[in-house]
Chain A
Amino acid sequence: MFMKSSDVAENLYKTHSMPYENISEEIVLNCQAERIFYGDFLAVRDSSVPILKNQITGFIGPSGCGKSTVLKSINRMNDLVHGFRFEGKILFHNIDIYNKKVDPVNVRRSIGMVFQQPNPFSMSIYENVAFGLRLNRYKGNMDEKVEQALRGAALWDEVKNKLKNNGTSLSGGQQQRLCIARAIATEPRVLLMDEPCSALDPIATRQIEELMVKLKERFTLVIVTHNMQQAQRVADQTAFFSVDISQGGRTGYLVEMGPTRELFENPKEQLTEEYLSGEFS
């Protein structure tokens, strides 16, 4: 069943995808986090992460290293947290999204997000996918866009006969793909994924990973993962974060970043090497 649905997705992308050589080293989003606070707590410092277009950038690191905090800062989800403060810049198409004139709602509309726990709305599968389209007052053919998004998320074959069923009635892996369909329906430029497979079983994880690789042809992806094999399997670029406890608190920071293979085979920093070889976690 899975093979079949991914074949469908592949066909879809043949018509939409760009030729491979077009994939450039263009920086679509440049995250320059100097300091991120929750109240008085310094959660992240000195983390400059350029995100390359049509690539998958993976954030890895031990618990509490701030990788999720950095990710959620990119579409200003952290604004919902009381006491959150961001110092630095995140340049997206040469605009600092933390500029006071920028409405976080607009940021979130062009930078989509998939969460750790699958969180479909308690409404029909169709309405879940159409949610963003209706929100953005899309006037075209809704059915077509919904189908396209569900195919893009490799879920169409499994749900095409039950689009009226509640989104929460699906299995965990299907729910997560529904959330991906919901996020990509509005064709955001960047898609953030916060440990999207941590609540899923290995088969569902595999499906999501294959999907990510396909999605990067159309979107730019940033994923947080605590699974280093996953980073090696899907990420083109990998950013390794660690925790600094020297200042008393637990402050996360970027240790190093580079093409995944290079980082895993030839880490520049000793800390990275120790972490990758499993000497601490």
Chain B
Amino acid sequence: MAMEQQSIWDATDTLSRPVSKRDIFFDKVFRWVTHAFTLGTIFVLFYIVFKIGGKALPVISEFGLEFITSTTWDVNAGKFGILPEIWGTLYSSILALILGGSFGIAIAIFLTQDFLHYRIQIVLKNIIELLAAIPSVVYGLWGIFVLIPLIRPLADYLHNHFGWIPFFSTSLSGPGMFPAALVLSIMILPTVAAISQDALLAVPLKTKEAAYGMGTTRWEAILRVMLPTASGGIFGSLVLGFGRALGETMALAMLVGNSNDISLSVFSPADTLATLLALNFPEAGEYEASVLMYAACVLLLITLLVNIAGATIITRCDCRSMK
């Protein structure tokens, strides 16, 4: 066998040579390194879930589902419930998704469909992506010192004239759901805009040509062809933006008001799971720490479900358009 293999390289009329031992060695090392890093990442993920779950386990068995449905949080009485925080997390994120999502998609359309000169498009795209570079705490400060004074007249007007609408039923006393959701929407806007832009740019030129060739105006081409074709990616951008909003902590801790209430009014203070964790862990004893771990598990579960739902819908959309 070995002899036979050797023989094909005996020829003198070719410059090709057998793979050297060194090449084979590096090939193997490269493969093992990538495998190790991949497995390491997966291991870290499971380790985090395992540790948090483990610490929360005694509390999970003690409170059970009541923890999720109860609204009292009293450390002294040993009563814990996070329904207001779950509500606040979802409510602020959904508001941010509606605001930031519509702005983000509109920006993506404006910057990809030849409305502007190519160079201006690039400049604007980069400026919008810079929004993602602003630290969360800076957003928080800006929210407290600029945004809240700025929106107060509007909030007062809405509350005085449209107070009968549940969304405006309380007055804005300072921090609250509305400024928090506004800042959140600015924070998720670059994510939504950037990924939606990529999705719109990925629509093949021939599809665009087909639309214009049928005699569509620019709006018809965008609404009837470009957006539906890019819908998978656009939806993905919304899911990622939503995921980011669910977990956002610092800016919300500064803006949302940290009040353990459930209210439909966007002007009343509220609380979210992430800010609950951030603000309570410094004074937490071992028992309270487990309670917070349970809350962390709930947050983890929510983001996980959102991401799985998003990924499922995206792959389904992609499969349809790829076929």
A interface, CB within 8 angstroms of B? 75, 77, 80, 105-110, 112-113, 115, 117, 119-123, 131-132, 135-136, 166, 168-169, 179, 182-183
Q: Which residue of chain B is the closest to A192 with respect to CB atoms?
A: B213
Q: Is the CB of A119 within 8 A of B229?
A: no
B 296-323 binary contact with A (CB < 8 Å = 1; else 0): 0000000000000000000000001111
The complex places the Cα of A120 from the Cα of B214 at a distance, in Å, of 11
The 10 lowest CB-CB distance pairs between A and B, nearest first, are A109-B215, A108-B215, A119-B206, A122-B321, A119-B210, A113-B213, A169-B323, A117-B206, A122-B229, A132-B214
Chain B residues whose C-beta falls within 8 Å of the C-beta of A109 in the assembled complex: 214-215
The complex places the Cα of A131 from the Cα of B224 at a distance, in Å, of 9
Chain B residues whose C-beta falls within 8 Å of the C-beta of A168 in the assembled complex: 321-323
The complex places the Cα of A107 from the Cα of B214 at a distance, in Å, of 10
B207 within 8 A of partner (CB): yes
The complex places the Cα of A120 from the Cα of B207 at a distance, in Å, of 7
Q: Is the CB of A135 within 8 A of B216?
A: yes
Q: Is the CB of A115 within 8 A of B210?
A: yes
Report if A106-B215 is in contact (Cβ < 8 Å); known contacts: A117-B206, A168-B321. yes
- Partner pick for B212 among A77, A123, A166, A179, CB 8 A cutoff: A77
Q: Is the CB of B206 within 8 A of A135?
A: no
B220 within 8 A of partner (CB): yes
Report if A119-B214 is in contact (Cβ < 8 Å); known contacts: A131-B224, A166-B321, A169-B323. no
Q: Is the CB of A122 within 8 A of B320?
A: yes
Distance between A122 CB and nearest chain B CB, rounded to angstroms:
4
Which size class do B's interface residues fall under? 20 to 34
Q: Is the CB of B323 within 8 A of A77?
A: no
Question: Can you name 28 A-B residue pairings with CB atoms under 8 Å?
Answer: A80-B209, A80-B212, A106-B215, A108-B212, A108-B213, A109-B214, A109-B215, A112-B213, A113-B213, A119-B207, A121-B207, A121-B225, A121-B229, A122-B321, A123-B228, A131-B224, A135-B216, A135-B220, A135-B224, A136-B215, A166-B320, A166-B321, A168-B321, A168-B322, A168-B323, A169-B323, A179-B210, A183-B214
Distance between A104 CB and nearest chain B CB, rounded to angstroms:
9
Chain A residues whose C-beta falls within 8 Å of the C-beta of B320 in the assembled complex: 122, 166
Q: Which residue of chain A is the closest to B232 with respect to CB atoms?
A: A122
B interface, CB within 8 angstroms of A? 204, 206-207, 209-217, 220, 224-225, 228-229, 320-323
- Partner pick for B217 among A105, A132, A169, A183, CB 8 A cutoff: A105
Chain B residues whose C-beta falls within 8 Å of the C-beta of A179 in the assembled complex: 210
Q: Is the CB of A75 within 8 A of B213?
A: yes
Distance between A119 CB and nearest chain B CB, rounded to angstroms:
4
Q: Which residue of chain A is the closest to B208 with respect to CB atoms?
A: A80
The complex places the Cα of A107 from the Cα of B321 at a distance, in Å, of 30
Known: A108-B215, A119-B207, A179-B210. 9 other contacts (CB 8 A): A105-B215, A115-B206, A115-B209, A115-B210, A121-B228, A131-B224, A132-B214, A135-B215, A166-B321
Q: Which residue of chain A is the closest to B229 with respect to CB atoms?
A: A122
Distance between A181 CB and nearest chain B CB, rounded to angstroms:
12
The complex places the Cα of A153 from the Cα of B321 at a distance, in Å, of 23
- Partner pick for B209 among A77, A112, A122, CB 8 A cutoff: A77
Distance between A93 CB and nearest chain B CB, rounded to angstroms:
16
Report if A119-B209 is in contact (Cβ < 8 Å); known contacts: A105-B217, A166-B323, A169-B323. yes
Chain A residues whose C-beta falls within 8 Å of the C-beta of B228 in the assembled complex: 121-123
The complex places the Cα of A136 from the Cα of B220 at a distance, in Å, of 11
Distance between A30 CB and nearest chain B CB, rounded to angstroms:
21
Q: Which residue of chain A is the closest to B218 with respect to CB atoms?
A: A105
The complex places the Cα of A166 from the Cα of B220 at a distance, in Å, of 20
Chain A residues whose C-beta falls within 8 Å of the C-beta of B322 in the assembled complex: 168
Distance between B318 CB and nearest chain A CB, rounded to angstroms:
10
Max chain A C-beta neighbours (<10 A), residue from B207, B209, B217: B209
Q: Which residue of chain B is the closest to A167 with respect to CB atoms?
A: B323
Report if A131-B214 is in contact (Cβ < 8 Å); known contacts: A115-B206, A169-B323. yes
Chain B residues whose C-beta falls within 8 Å of the C-beta of A120 in the assembled complex: 210
Q: Is the CB of B323 within 8 A of A108?
A: no
The complex places the Cα of A115 from the Cα of B208 at a distance, in Å, of 12
- Partner pick for B213 among A77, A106, A110, A122, CB 8 A cutoff: A77
Chain B residues whose C-beta falls within 8 Å of the C-beta of A107 in the assembled complex: 215
The complex places the Cα of A119 from the Cα of B214 at a distance, in Å, of 12
Q: Which residue of chain A is the closest to B317 with respect to CB atoms?
A: A122
Distance between B306 CB and nearest chain A CB, rounded to angstroms:
25
Q: Which residue of chain B is the closest to A75 with respect to CB atoms?
A: B213
The complex places the Cα of A115 from the Cα of B209 at a distance, in Å, of 9
Distance between B317 CB and nearest chain A CB, rounded to angstroms:
9
The complex places the Cα of A6 from the Cα of B210 at a distance, in Å, of 26
Q: Is the CB of A121 within 8 A of B210?
A: yes
Chain A residues whose C-beta falls within 8 Å of the C-beta of B212 in the assembled complex: 77, 80, 108
Chain A residues whose C-beta falls within 8 Å of the C-beta of B213 in the assembled complex: 75, 77, 108, 112-113, 115, 183
The complex places the Cα of A110 from the Cα of B216 at a distance, in Å, of 12
Chain A residues whose C-beta falls within 8 Å of the C-beta of B321 in the assembled complex: 122, 166, 168
The complex places the Cα of A276 from the Cα of B323 at a distance, in Å, of 40
Chain A residues whose C-beta falls within 8 Å of the C-beta of B211 in the assembled complex: 121
